[in-house]
Amino acid sequence: MTKHLSSSVNVPKIFVIGKNGQVGWELQRSLSMLGDVIALSRYEADLQAPQALLERIRMERPDVIVNAAAYTAVDKAEVDEVAATQINGVAVGELAQAARDAGALFIHYSTDYVFDGSKNGPYVESDEPNPQNAYGRSKLAGERAIQQAGGDWLVLRTTWVYAARGHNFMKTMLRLARERDELRVVGDQYGVPTWARMIAEATAIIVARAMQARTRGEFASGIYHLSAGGATTWHSFAELIVGYARQHERSGSIKASVVTPILTADYPLPACRPVNSILSCEKLRCDYGIVMPAWDVAAELCLADLLECNG
pLDDT per position as a tens digit, 273-288: 999 999 999 999 999 9
* pLDDT value of position 252: 78
Total number of residues shown for the chain: 311
pLDDT tens digits, 153-195: 999 999 999 999 889 999 999 999 999 999 999 999 999 999 9
Of the candidates 281, 276, 273, 275, the residue with the CA atom closest to the CA atom of residue 223: 281
Asked whether 241 and 173 are in contact (CB, 8 A), the reply is yes
Asked whether 220 and 254 are in contact (CB, 8 A), the reply is no
- Residue 15: how many other CB atoms lie within 10 Å: 26
Of the candidates 78, 180, 206, 54, the residue with the CA atom closest to the CA atom of residue 133: 78
- Express as a percent the part of the chain with pLDDT over 70: 96
Active-site residue (options: 135, 162, 244, 288): 135
Question: Rounded CA gap, 275 and 189, in Å?
Answer: 4
Domain ranges of the chain: 13-160+194-229+278-294
Classified by CATH at the fold level, domain 13-160+194-229+278-294 comes out as Rossmann fold (3.40.50)
In three-state secondary structure terms, 229 is strand
Question: Rounded CA gap, 41 and 99, in Å?
Answer: 18
Average pLDDT over the chain, rounded to an integer: 95
* pLDDT value of position 104: 98
Residue 43: pLDDT over 60 = yes
Residue 135 annotated among the catalytic residues of the structure: yes
Q: What number is the average pLDDT over the span 228-250?
A: 95
Question: Rounded CA gap, 187 and 33, in Å?
Answer: 40
Q: How confident is the model at residue 251 (pLDDT cuts 50, 70, 90)?
A: confident
Q: What number is the average pLDDT over the span 229-239?
A: 98
Cα dist from 168 to 12, 81, 163, whole Å: 32, 21, 7
**Does the model's pTM come out above 0.85?**
yes
Tell me the one-letter amino acid at 97. Q
